[in-house]
Structure 1
Amino acid sequence: MREYTEKKETCGTICLKYLLFIFNFFFWLAGGAVMAVGAWTLAEKSDYISLLSSSTYSATAYILVVAGVVVMVTGILGCCATFKERRNLLRVYFILLLCIFLLEIIAGILAYIYYQQFFPVSPQLSLELKQNLKNTMTQKYRREGEESVTSAVDKLQQEFKCCGSNNYTDWADSLWIRSPEASGRKVPDSCCKTITDLCGRRDHPSNIYKESGCITKLENFIQEHLKIIGAVGISIACVQIFGMIFTCCLYKSLKSEPY
């Protein structure tokens, strides 16, 4: 009976080891995906961050990058701890899993919080956000020390085929448009459907994106991207629960080792 019990425990341990190894393999791949989403947000869309009134969006992306790196390192540690059957390594692995779990939950919560900030139920708050974008574009565009805003506005108007926050008339309040530096432009050249030097002097619909404002398109972009960030963070965090359960079971099935 004793031999049967020991054999049963050994088989259970082997099953747990392979389950944990399979989990770690997919967990490592998931870490790469998390890091890729965060890095893509910062590398490809970082210009738009300067147009937003909150730093929560960028903070969420940074958390995902850090979590992704730690996940990949943790996945390797988990494989080593599993096959060497070291309880001390399993403890470290479990703690790292728990930390990553909390990081990804925080990233998901931040994405949700920012979603509520950017798409509030109150029409008045939404109006304030729209006014903030207009002020950023008209007060900081082409101003000294605001090169990142200028680059972001130009990229936004060209990529989303829009002009101004609500529409092209917003540029009438621009400090730059009113200055001699604008050379008679009515809108920035980045509002033009085909960019040429001084094309912003002519505000005809055939020349500029006259009726298309950027605020709605920026809102749609942020909305969709926040859904991706939140879903990735929360989904992988939920999967990690199984990893922590497997780790606890394997830890208990192994005999104590001297340090």
Structure 2
Amino acid sequence: MALDTGMKCVKYLLFIFNLLFVISGFAVIIVGAVIEAHYRSYLDFISSSYISAPSVLIAVGVLIFVVGFFGCCGAIKENRCMIVTFAVLLCMIFVVQLGVGVASYILRSDVEDFLHANMLKSMHNYNQSRPGVFKTWNVIQHEHACCGTDNYRDWEATSFGESVDGVPEACCKENTPDCGVDVFSKPEKLAMINQGGCFDKLKGDVEENITILGSVAIGIGFVQLIGVVFACFLAKALKQQYETV
């Protein structure tokens, strides 16, 4: 027996929703991948918690394709089992995304103290034997036109700063050989380097990414609840239909 007109509308709305659902899966994967790649540049400054959040979001995006399959097939074939499976999986995804969103905002509140402490600490490990830290500081200082954590003077208390009586070449406005050497003893060389610190610039960058991550996770999660409602209506209608056959 075919569904009545009202339930047919729900059926096709659920199918259309799943197409949008799959598109949202692409959005989730892209946002998660971009932010994770961005975080990789700061791996020596932030904890694994900041990396795991976008990774979870990427995994959720992949799972969306599987869930979308159940939703589309269940709606078109009027298969109650598949529709119920779709609804359950969608609820699970919503819980995970909500958790990612909440975790992101919690991490955002801790980023200032954590990031500042790690940046200062990592400066003492800036040397060729620690390629990760060495590369990270060079990239950050060059891309953000900054030097040190709070300012260029932070390098003065590090072993690298003491060895060259100055700052890394990445601090220089123009990257020329030995441009950062003897900066502390020759004030005239200060004009050659960026004197402002990297912390404020990096903090804003990380906070912005965390906000985007949390907003996308929670926003798409609540949209998915609409799909759960459609699925429940359709599953209930199918159950009643089978009971009357």
TM over 0.5: yes
Equivalent residue, structure 1, for 2:23: 29
Query: Percent of counterpart pairs with the same letter?
Result: 35
Structure 1 residue 199, shift from structure 2 partner: 2.0
CA 1:168 to 1:92, structure 2 compared with 1: closer, same or farther past 3 Å? Answer: same
Contact 1:143 1:176 in 2 (8 A): no
**Matching residue within 60, 65, 69 for 2:62:** 69
Contact 1:47 1:148 in 2 (8 A): no
Q: Does 1:208 align with 2:193?
A: yes
Equivalent residue, structure 2, for 1:134: 120
Secondary structure at the residue paired with 2:173?
coil
Q: 1:26-65 alignment to 2 at 5 Å?
A: 26-52=20-46, 54-65=47-58
Structure 1 Cα separation of the partners of residues 38 and 52 of structure 2: 15
Matched to 2:7, the amino acid is T
Structure 1 residue 256, shift from structure 2 partner: 4.2
**Matching residue within 78, 88, 106 for 1:85:** 78
Q: Does 1:226 align with 2:214?
A: no
Equivalent residue, structure 1, for 2:166: 186
Greater relative CO, 1 or 2 (CA 8 Å, sep 6+): 2
Contact 2:45 2:119 in 1 (8 A): yes
Matched to 2:180, the amino acid is G
Secondary structure at the residue paired with 1:163?
coil
Structure 1, residues 171-220: CA drift from partner, whole Å, max 9, x if none? 111223334xxxx361011111111222221533431111x101111111
CA 1:150 to 1:140, structure 2 compared with 1: closer, same or farther past 3 Å? Answer: same
Structure 1 residue 58, shift from structure 2 partner: 0.8
Equivalent residue, structure 2, for 1:18: 12
Gaps of 5+ in 2: 184-188
Contact 1:49 1:57 in 2 (8 A): no
Equivalent residue, structure 2, for 1:247: 231
Equivalent residue, structure 2, for 1:173: 157
Matched to 1:74, the amino acid is V
Structure 2 Cα separation of the partners of residues 32 and 197 of structure 1: 45
Structure 1 Cα separation of the partners of residues 146 and 65 of structure 2: 40
Secondary structure at the residue paired with 1:199?
coil
Matched to 1:234, the amino acid is I
Contact 1:158 1:191 in 2 (8 A): yes
Equivalent residue, structure 2, for 1:123: none
Structure 1 residue 47, shift from structure 2 partner: 1.5
Matched to 1:231, the amino acid is S
Equivalent residue, structure 1, for 2:186: none
Structure 2 Cα separation of the partners of residues 67 and 185 of structure 1: 50
Matched to 2:191, the amino acid is S
Contact 2:45 2:115 in 1 (8 A): no
Q: TM-score, normalised by structure 2?
A: 0.89
CA RMSD, aligned part only?
A: 1.9
Structure 1, residues 216-239: CA drift from partner, whole Å, max 9, x if none? 111110111111001100000110
Q: How many equivalent pairs are there?
A: 236
Matched to 2:60, the amino acid is A
Contact 1:35 1:69 in 2 (8 A): yes
Q: TM-score, normalised by structure 1?
A: 0.85
Q: Does 1:105 align with 2:98?
A: yes
